Structure 1
Amino acid sequence: MIDDPIAKLSRFAARDNRPGGDGLPTVPILGAFIARDRERIADLEVGATGLIILLDGRKEISDPDGSHHYRKGDALLLPAGWRGAVVNEPDPDSGLYRSLILMFPADMVRRLLRAHANAALGDGRRARDYRVTLTPSLTDAVLHAADGLSSGSPVSPQIAEHRCMEVLLALLETGVWWLGPVAPTGIADAVRALVRTQPDQPWTADSVARALNLSSATLRRRLAEEDSSVRRIMTGERVAHAQTLLEVEGRSVQETADACGYASRSHFARRIKDATGSNPSELRTDGRFRKNSG
């Protein structure tokens, strides 16, 4: 167990070292924000998924969902594409605002989501304020990654990247499913990543738009530009998930229907039949046969 995670993380924020430069990061980046005066950024667009941990002071972010407040010891995960206003307020006692930020390149997030698309994701509810629980395993992973990314570390870039992947996996395991980038990979990819992590949810265009910080009209327009739709993406992801559960894991038809968000077993069977040409029970039988014969 970690008795004082903030004290241990604070050693990586000894000086202001804000991520900067042009373009989006292609490797993980560790940075620290330190300020003695109140800072306000009126219109911030997040270019890369970032985990922010408050070490001193207070933070407020505002977006279409409202205003969200954080203090020392809190953590939040802002996905790529998030837009809103940010206020950083120094602590009245220490006189400092300090936060640690770990930024992940879009390709790393996509690889993580592809590899662990079916990971258990807590109770599946959206954290509307982007808050992250600093569990012991997540804190351990962040400390390990920060040590590998810090200046003068003997750790190779490949090992440091592996440690950052552990942080992403720890986030997934605590229910942080909104890792997928909104931009620049395309809105259809963002919707796929969203549905893939929670295929059992009753997604609609409105709920997807809210999750991705877009208006429903913007979501529909951008999906149409990519010749796609929420319904088409949802069906494709649910069918792919169902095939994995039936053929690879050997789940029952009812279990699979529930896991894919179908209240009606007959409706589920029709969807699978239309997409694959086989009934769910046939997919399960074929999968078990292949496994046993292999």
Structure 2
Amino acid sequence: MIRMFEYDSKQAQSLSQVPVHQPSIIRVIYGEKSLLWQDESVLVGQGQLLLIPAGSHISFVNRPFLGRYRAVQLLLPHDLPQGILSSATDWRDPMPVQNISRAVDLAWNVLLQSLTLSLADPVQLHYLAALLLSLPDKRSVNWLYGHTQRSVTQAALALMSMSPSASWQQEDIADKLHMSTASLRRKLALEDTSFRQLLAEVRLCHGLAMLQNSSEPVLQVALACGYQSAEKFSLRFKQQFGLTPAAYRRTL
């Protein structure tokens, strides 16, 4: 369902090619986030939301204000809440940054409260619908959900995310999705991805979250992500995000 993540840092963070597997909304609380979006420089400051469609890979810099950066990210369901149909006829892509009006602020806060209190899923979806309907650019809902990942990618990600440390094989995923390994490979290729790429992204994103939200040693983080050594995890982490786990931890 809807998941909430909080990100804090005391120093600037520069991360590259961070995969986003679900439609997401990020609100910057302190500081600012800068990113390159379709060859255009975008700045997200306090009082703004960043909308990211599923399947995106974003490179960004988080910059603290007076020694603190803080943001909240909501990972949304792949399907629109029931009853949400945008009436916008202009299908040009809007900018991913939305200003926060009073209506958006109210809807955001009520949704976060429902998540904090672990209210029933239908209630959370009701408040999500209110947030989406409050966005000032009416093209945003079409755009945010118009890039939804195909079903096989979605299903494979959901399975691997349940246990990033498991020794997943293509045969495991194919069996759970009731198809042959060859069919799995072919369908993922049609969706411009692969088993290896998805598994690496799931594990590294899990590692990124653990580094942010726990004090576990890098070795323990590596093991929890399915890597057998801190060295191999650190190498893959740097290849994906552009900095080592230790360097990332130093920004917190």
TM category (shorter chain) comes to 0.5 to 0.7
Aligned counterparts of 1:141 and 1:90: Cα–Cα separation in 2? 26
Q: What displacement does 1:86 show?
A: 1.3
Relative distance call for 1:116 and 1:43 in structure 2 (3 A) is same
Residue 154 (structure 1) shift: 6.2
Match of 2:134 among 164, 167, 170: 170
1:194-236 per-residue CA deviation (whole Å, 9 max, x = no partner) reads xxxxxxxxxxxxxxxxxxxxxxxxxxxx9xx69xxxxxxxxxx
Given candidates 85, 93, 109, the residue that maps to 1:126 is 93
Structure 2 residue identity aligned to 1:65: D
Q: Using the alignment, how far apart are the partners of 2:31 and 2:42 within structure 1?
A: 14
Q: Does 1:59 align with 2:33?
A: yes
2:121 counterpart letter in structure 1: P
Taking the aligned partners of 2:108 and 2:149, their CA distance within structure 1 comes to 26
Could you say which structure has the greater relative contact order, defined with CA pairs below 8 angstroms and 6 or more residues apart?
Answer: 2
**Alpha-carbon contact 2:21-2:54 (below 8 Å) kept:** yes
Q: Structure 2 CA distance, aligned partners of 1:63 and 1:56?
A: 21
- CA separation of 1:135/1:122 partners in 2, compared to 1, >3 Å: closer, same or farther? farther
Deviations 1:148-178 (A, max 9, x none): 001xx16333312321222223338643131
The residue that corresponds to 1:89 in the other structure is 63
1:269 corresponds to = none
Of residues 127, 144, 150 in structure 2, which corresponds to 1:185? 150
SS of alignment partner, residue 36 of structure 2: strand
Q: Shift of the alpha carbon at 1:75?
A: 1.4
Q: Which runs of 5+ in 2 are unaligned?
A: 153-186, 192-252
Letter in 2 for 1:165: A
Q: Between Structure 1 and Structure 2, how many residues are aligned? A: 154
Structure 2 residue identity aligned to 1:160: Q
Are residues 178 and 63 of structure 1, via their aligned partners in 2, closer, same or farther at CA, if it must alter by over 3 Å? same
Gaps of 5+ in 1: 1-26, 188-221, 227-294
Whole-Å separation in 2 of the counterparts to 1:76 and 1:144: 18
Distance in 1 (CA, whole Å) between partners of 2:92 and 2:12 is: 33
- Separation of aligned partners in 2, 1:139 and 1:125: 25
Give the structure-2-normalised TM-score: 0.53
> Does structure 1 conserve the Cα–Cα contact (< 8 Å) formed by 2:29 and 2:72?
yes
Deviations 1:235-282 (A, max 9, x none): xxxxxxxxxxxxxxxxxxxxxxxxxxxxxxxxxxxxxxxxxxxxxxxx
Partner residue of 2:75?
A: 103
Query: Within 1, Cα distance between the matches of 2:36 and 2:112?
Result: 28
Q: Does the 8 Å contact 1:106/1:181 carry over to 2?
A: no
Report if the CA contact (8 A) 1:90-1:96 is conserved: yes
Question: CA offset at residue 63 of structure 1?
Answer: 3.6
Q: Within the alignment, does 1:147 sit opposite 2:113 as a pair?
A: yes
SS of the aligned residue for 2:74 comes to strand
The TM-score, its normalising length taken from structure 1, stands at 0.46
Larger radius of gyration: 1
* Aligned equivalents of 1:67, 1:40: Cα separation in 2: 15
C-alpha distance in 1 between matches for 2:12 and 2:37: 19
What do you get for the CA RMSD once the two structures are aligned? Answer: 2.8
